Amino acid sequence: MWTLSGFADEITADLQTQCEVLNSLGIDHIELRSAWDTNVLDLDDDRLDAAARILASHQIRMSSVGSPIGKIAITEDFEPHLARFERALHVARVLNAPYIRLFSFFIPKGEEPGRHRDEVLRRMAALAAAAKGHDVLLLHENEKDIYGDNPMRCLDIVESVGSPQLRLIWDPANFVQCGVRPFTDGYPLLRPYLDYLHVKDAVMATGAVVPAGEGDGELSETLRALQADGFDGFFSMEPHLAAAGAMGGFSGADLFTRATRTFTQMLDAQGVTYR
């Protein structure tokens, strides 16, 4: 069974409205990145409790904490960031999230990522160690301009850290924007560590983000392969159709709905059972 989720802050800032739109689309999970124009890790305890009540009232569960952990420069001080990761663990516990999304640090422009490999791995290992004993898995997302922006470096991170709590997100649009053919160049390498997918696509020539199946993200090939090998996990809508930036994106309710319908049509055509 494949399960749909989504970055519902792409719909609106108001969490109540986010949940109403997810309900209308038949989506019963959320990847919570922000609510009320506040990053999920910056919600105080009262707002966190309010979020839990709103999600429960709409029968929506968490698929992942859409945290920004790892979205700082590799040259920035890590210790305050590691302390912030404790908040991510707290949020996951309060909201019963099985996963926390994270990244592998921005590399200074023009510098060879390999120069920073040792520090990246030290930091990723520290995050994995901090998660030990918590009932949560960490998901590294491939992202432009970070160390783990291509399949080989994603593989390097997960295998070098070697933690059973560190797994991978597959974001085809981000791979395309880094000049990678996702399925052709990455799937055989990364499939053993792949737990979770972000649903967005992009055009190789321009980097423009488009609905699933309308770009060069090789979504059809990826979906067929996942279906064939028995994948059972989350597909999180992240359309980025109206705006996209380093810390997130926006679509609005109409474009979010369009992106979701486009993707579910792909699943229906392939005969995939999903919820």
Give the pLDDT confidence score for residue 246 in this predicted structure: 73
**Any idea which of 157-171, 222-236, 244-258 has the lowest mean pLDDT?**
244-258
- The 3-state DSSP class for residue 61 equals strand
Contact status, residue 142 vs residue 181, Cβ threshold 8 Å: no
Beta-strand pair 38-39/34-35: antiparallel
Which amino acid, residue 28? D
**Any idea which of 121-125, 139-143, 238-242 has the lowest mean pLDDT?**
238-242
Q: Per the structure block, which two tokens stand in for 155? A: 């593989």
Where do we find the tokens 């990145």? 33
Picking from 70, 26, 65, the residue whose alpha carbon sits closest to that of residue 48 is 65
Q: What is the C-alpha separation between 216 and 256, in angstroms, rounded?
A: 20
Contact status, residue 220 vs residue 172, Cβ threshold 8 Å: no
- The 3-state DSSP class for residue 54 equals helix
52-82 pLDDT, tens digit per residue, is 999 999 999 999 999 999 999 999 999 999 9
